[in-house]
């Protein structure tokens, strides 16, 4: 897979104009204008850049990670460094909106370099994109207009700080709108929680835990056709717990049922649930249940 270390190399590859700053590129379309059109197709590629794009008029499918996405409805797509991206000739890049691409080194030494690590949407798949209302689009477009104005001016000692500040504002609004989207999609969140629980139930009612161990959140997310970060963020909004916490809670509940069987040793219970080491099972059980597996079994006998 081809990887691009610099912004210029990446833009050259996708056949877009070279940036006016070695670490930052800004394109926007206003009025009857359109964004520059990249190359017609590409096999899987990666780069060291962040990208924030509002796609308003696009036809065809773009593959982002392992997911295909139809852009015709328009969406805000955020891509982080080293994410896999590919598209084919069926895509029609006759689009309005904006695109900001910046190398991760552009943020070095700034507070935003730390903040951006907490924005989970850079790890989402394309089908988990942010769908904006017209009012929200205008808000983001006005921020991008300010960024583009500073980007195209004769840059001086203040330019980077100003652009970084505006980028931080853009990302804060994006985060706000994602929060709104999660709240407005309660039904979808509930459905994802139900699917998550069903996946756990199916897995642990089989022999797979003993054979393959405890399932990873990544493998569960893949079965549900969502990204790991989106799954965790959605479940957190719905339940107040992360996907890992929910998985651990499920394991403890299963363990409590198994521990009530006096013919099973604690080690057997651990191995049946997929734990490689019984000592790790005992530590997790005590952390979540407040007592050790043996104490839990003894307390049940007393009752």
- For residues 204 and 214, what is the distance between their CA atoms, to the nearest angstrom? 9
If asked whether residues 135 and 165 sit together in one domain, one would say yes
- Mean pLDDT throughout 253-278? 92
If asked whether residues 59 and 76 sit together in one domain, one would say yes
Q: Can you give the chain as a three-state secondary structure string?
A: CEEECCHHHHHHHCCCCCCCECCEEEEECCCCCCCCCCCCCEEEEEECEEEEEEECCCECEEEECCEEEEHHHCEEEEECCCCCEEECCCCECCCCEEEEEEEHHHHCCCHHHHHHHHCHHHHCCHHHCECCCHHHHHHHHHHHHHHHHHHHCCCCCCHHHHHHHHHHHHHHHHHHHHHHHHHHCHHHHHHHHHHHHHHHHHHHCCCHHHHHCCCCHHHHHHHCCCCHHHHHHHHHHHHCCCHHHHHHHHHHHHHHHHHCCCCCCHHHHHHHCCCCCHHHHHHHHHHHHCCCHHHHHHHHHHC
If asked whether residues 209 and 140 sit together in one domain, one would say no
If asked whether residues 201 and 175 sit together in one domain, one would say no
If asked whether residues 147 and 249 sit together in one domain, one would say no
pLDDT higher than 70, residue 205: yes
pLDDT-derived band of residue 230, with 50, 70 and 90 as boundaries? confident
Which is nearest to 21 in space by CA: 114, 146, 160? 160
If asked whether residues 30 and 178 sit together in one domain, one would say yes
pLDDT at 238: 82
Domains identified in the chain, total number: 2
Residue-wise pLDDT for 125-178, tens only, equals: 766 778 888 888 889 999 999 999 999 888 788 999 999 999 999 999 999 988
The model's pTM is 0.72
pLDDT at 155: 78
pLDDT higher than 80, residue 43: yes
Residue-wise pLDDT for 58-69, tens only, equals: 555 555 444 454
Asked which of 123, 158, 184 is the last residue of a domain, the reply is 184
If asked whether residues 35 and 166 sit together in one domain, one would say yes
**Residue numbers of the domain that contains 29:** 2-184
pLDDT-derived band of residue 287, with 50, 70 and 90 as boundaries? very high
pLDDT at 213: 94
If asked whether residues 82 and 105 sit together in one domain, one would say yes
CA trace torsion 136, 236, 191, 125 (10° rounding): 60
pLDDT higher than 70, residue 192: yes
pLDDT-derived band of residue 215, with 50, 70 and 90 as boundaries? very high
pLDDT at 191: 80
Asked which of 152, 184, 216 is the last residue of a domain, the reply is 184
If asked whether residues 279 and 154 sit together in one domain, one would say no
Alpha carbon 285 to its chain's center: 30
pLDDT at 262: 85
Asked which of 184, 217, 234 is the last residue of a domain, the reply is 184
């Amino acid at each position: 897979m081809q990887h691009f270390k610099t912004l210029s190399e990446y833009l050259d590859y996708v056949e877009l104009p070279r940036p006016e700053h070695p670490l930052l590129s800004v394109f926007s379309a206003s009025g009857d204008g359109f964004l520059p059109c990249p190359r017609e197709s590409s096999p899987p590629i990666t780069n060291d850049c962040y990208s924030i794009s509002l796609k308003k008029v696009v036809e065809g499918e773009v593959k982002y990670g392992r997911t295909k996405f139809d852009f015709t409805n328009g969406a805000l797509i955020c891509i982080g460094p080293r994410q896999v991206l590919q598209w084919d000739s069926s895509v029609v890049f006759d689009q309005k909106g904006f695109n900001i691409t910046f190398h991760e080194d552009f943020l070095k030494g700034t507070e935003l370099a730390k903040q951006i690590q907490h924005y989970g949407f850079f790890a989402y798949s394309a089908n988990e994109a942010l769908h904006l209302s017209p009012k929200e689009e205008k808000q983001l477009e006005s921020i991008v207009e300010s960024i583009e104005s500073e980007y195209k001016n004769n840059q001086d000692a203040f330019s980077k700080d100003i652009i970084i500040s505006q980028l931080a504002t853009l990302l804060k609004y994006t985060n706000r709108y994602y929060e709104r989207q999660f709240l407005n999609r309660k039904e979808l969140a509930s459905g994802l929680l139900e699917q998550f629980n069903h996946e756990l139930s199916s897995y642990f009612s089989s022999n797979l835990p003993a054979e393959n161990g405890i399932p990873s959140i990544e493998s569960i997310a893949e079965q549900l056709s969502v990204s790991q970060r989106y799954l965790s963020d959605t479940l957190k909004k719905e339940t107040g717990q992360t996907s890992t916490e929910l998985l651990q809670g499920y394991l403890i509940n299963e363990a409590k049922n198994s521990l009530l069987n006096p013919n099973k040793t604690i080690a057997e219970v651990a191995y049946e649930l997929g734990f490689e080491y019984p000592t790790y099972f005992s530590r997790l059980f005590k952390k979540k249940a407040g007592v050790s597996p043996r104490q839990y079994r003894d307390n049940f006998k007393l009752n």
